[in-house]
Amino acid sequence: MHHKRRLWALLFALMLVLAACGGGEVDTGDDDGGDDDAGQASGPIDVAAVWTGGEQENFEAVLDAFTEETGVETTYRPTGDDVGAFLGTQIEGGSPPDVAMLPQAGLLRDLAGEGSLTPAGEDVQAAMAEHFSPDWTELGSVDGELYGVYFKAANKSTWWYNTAVFEQAGVEPPTTWDEMLEAAGTVNASGTPFVSIGGGDGWTLTDWFENIYIQTAGPEMYDQLATHEIPWTDESVIEALEVFAQLVGDEANIAGGTAGALQTDFPTSVQQVFANPPEAATVYEGDFVAGVITGETNAAEGDYDFFNFPQVGDAGAAVVGGGDVAVALSDEPGAQELLAFLATPEAAEVWASAGGFTSPNQSLDTSVYPDDLTRRSAEAVAGADTFRFDLSDLQPAQFGGTVGKGLFLRFQDFLQNPDDPQAAAQALERDAKRAF
């Protein structure tokens, strides 16, 4: 009897081992979906994005406009903060959403490389050619093949300030880096630290670095750094870090000092500028700061404004931005229809008129933006001499997008020790080597 029990146990275990070793293929959904262009409404589609709350309502309004026009039903699913993790598990499980909005271009590249994305069809390509500049089409493509439509853009070169504090200090918004350092000294002397840095959230520090780097090193080197053609120990990186140290090396400039900045997350850093009394005069981040100001502080219109990130060198105005790209993860024809719709100015108008949204769509009439500030920042994105995508979003997730690792971690370490750019650069290069 003992033999029989052991035999059963052995068979059971063997069965499981065979199942484990055999079942490891990544299932990318059905590969034989045919095109349904017979004019009838395609099946319902699942759309996933990171937006919740007010942004979710606005995006669902866009989806409703889509359903009205094409008759395709949509369901919206929020992904939670970690889009990569959410999609990864869904894809492994064989049931990914039909369309997903990716906030990081690196994620687009990773997923396209894995074969989890369906390339954009002809309708989508035509729409992109008609309404977007070639830069955006390029951003949505991997190895020459178009996968995604950039629906929402963010201007990450806007520096927001509390107008009352600037008035009291008698300071005008600076246009160059040296002017900014001078203004910082004056504002500090007036009793309010100049800038609030959300160092607790590492991604804010990467945005600082990118804006400085694109101005000191230029767009070509920026592209080379993004693809790791030049190492992070390059002279240009050290130079940019030294410029950054000019601001953060003097703790008087930062609200709470370096230690305070490292414990402050992004929303708190914005709240500090508009607290009563203000704990800082300015905060730098993207145009989505406006959303945080109106949603989470008591600042009224006119209390806040922004100036463009000050010029460091003589290279001319450069804008670093980000965006959310819509990609198709299944072969549902409805997914392609949604991508084509999102490329049209009508789709952009639905959200743009509601506020808190910038579209890279060149055919969009900028008068639909509800206020001047959004319009200015949108026009800066659309009309920049040099526009580049947020570098940290272009990196593989383990280097550019994970809390406590890679770029996030090393820039936080640099904020702690701004006197040692060499060490920071070397640590960055070590992490980058492992990722690429």
Partner 1 sequence: MASTAADVRPGVGPRAKMEIQRPPGAAKRWLALLFLLPALFLLGAIVVYPTIDTIAQSFQHDTSRAWVGLANYERAAQADTIITALKNNAVWVLSAPAIITSLGLMFAILTERVKYSTAIKIIVFMPMAISFLATGVIWRLMYEPSPSQGLINAAIAKVVDVTGGAGAYPTATVLPDGAATQEPSGAVTLNEPIQAGETALLGLTAIGETDVPEDAVQASQPEVSGNSLGIVVWRDFKPGGGEPGVVEEGELGLPGAQVEVLDSSGAVVASGTTEADGSVVLDDLEGGPFTPRVAAATFSQGFTGIRWLAADLVTPAIIAAFCWMWGGFALVVIGAGLAALPRDVLEAARVDGANEWQTFRYVTLPLLGPVLGVVFVTMVINVLKIFDIIFMAPGASQDEANVIAVEMVRTAFTSRQYGVGSVIAVLIFALVIPIMFLNIRRFRRQET
Q: Output 10 or 259, the one with its CB closest to partner 1.
A: 259
- HEC secondary structure over 347-371: HHHHHHCCCCCECCCCCCCHHHCCC
Name every residue whose Cβ is closer than 8 Å to that of residue 14 and which is 6 or more positions away in sequence.
none
Name every residue whose Cβ is closer than 8 Å to that of residue 408 and which is 6 or more positions away in sequence.
202, 203, 205, 206, 392, 402
- HEC secondary structure over 232-263: CCCHHHHHHHHHHHHHHCCHHHECCHHHHHHC
Encoded one letter per residue, x for contact with partner 1 by CB under 8 A and - for no contact, window 265-304 reads x-----------x---------------------------
Report the nearest approach of partner 1 to the CB of residue 288 (Å).
Answer: 18
143: contact with partner 1 by CB under 8 A:
no
Q: Which of 230, 238, 275, 409 binds partner 1 (CB under 8 A)?
A: 409
263: contact with partner 1 by CB under 8 A:
yes
Q: Which of 46, 98, 201, 287 binds partner 1 (CB under 8 A)?
A: 201
Report the nearest approach of partner 1 to the CB of residue 215 (Å).
Answer: 26
Encoded one letter per residue, x for contact with partner 1 by CB under 8 A and - for no contact, window 58-97 reads ------------------------x-xx--xx--------
Report the nearest approach of partner 1 to the CB of residue 260 (Å).
Answer: 8
Binding segment toward partner 1, per CB under 8 A, in 141-149, 195-203, 210-218, 333-341: 195-203
| Residue reference for tokens 């000294």 | 185
Specify whether the CB–CB gap between 263 and 200 falls below 8 A: yes
Q: Output 334 or 406, the one with its CB closest to partner 1.
A: 406
Q: Which of 114, 130, 372, 419 binds partner 1 (CB under 8 A)?
A: 114
Q: Which of 33, 43, 94, 191 binds partner 1 (CB under 8 A)?
A: 191
Give which of 329, 319, 323 is closest to 150, Cα–Cα. Answer: 323
126: contact with partner 1 by CB under 8 A:
no
User: What residue ranges in 163-224 does DSSP mark as E strands?
Assistant: 195-196
* CA 76 centroid distance within chain: 20
The amino acid at 19: A
Report the nearest approach of partner 1 to the CB of residue 241 (Å).
Answer: 18
Q: Output 170 or 316, the one with its CB closest to partner 1.
A: 170
What span, in angstroms and rounded, lies between the C-alpha atoms of 145 and 99?
17
Name every residue whose Cβ is closer than 8 Å to that of residue 63 and which is 6 or more positions away in sequence.
47, 74, 76, 338
360: contact with partner 1 by CB under 8 A:
no
What span, in angstroms and rounded, lies between the C-alpha atoms of 282 and 160?
6
Give which of 385, 379, 373 is closest to 361, Cα–Cα. Answer: 379
380: contact with partner 1 by CB under 8 A:
no
What span, in angstroms and rounded, lies between the C-alpha atoms of 247 and 255?
12
200: contact with partner 1 by CB under 8 A:
yes
Report the nearest approach of partner 1 to the CB of residue 378 (Å).
Answer: 29
Which spans of this chain sit near partner 1 (rule: CB under 8 A)? 1, 4, 8, 12-13, 16-17, 19-21, 23-26, 82, 84-85, 88-89, 110, 114, 167-171, 185-186, 188-192, 199-202, 252, 259-260, 262-263, 265, 277, 396-398, 401-405, 408-409, 412, 434
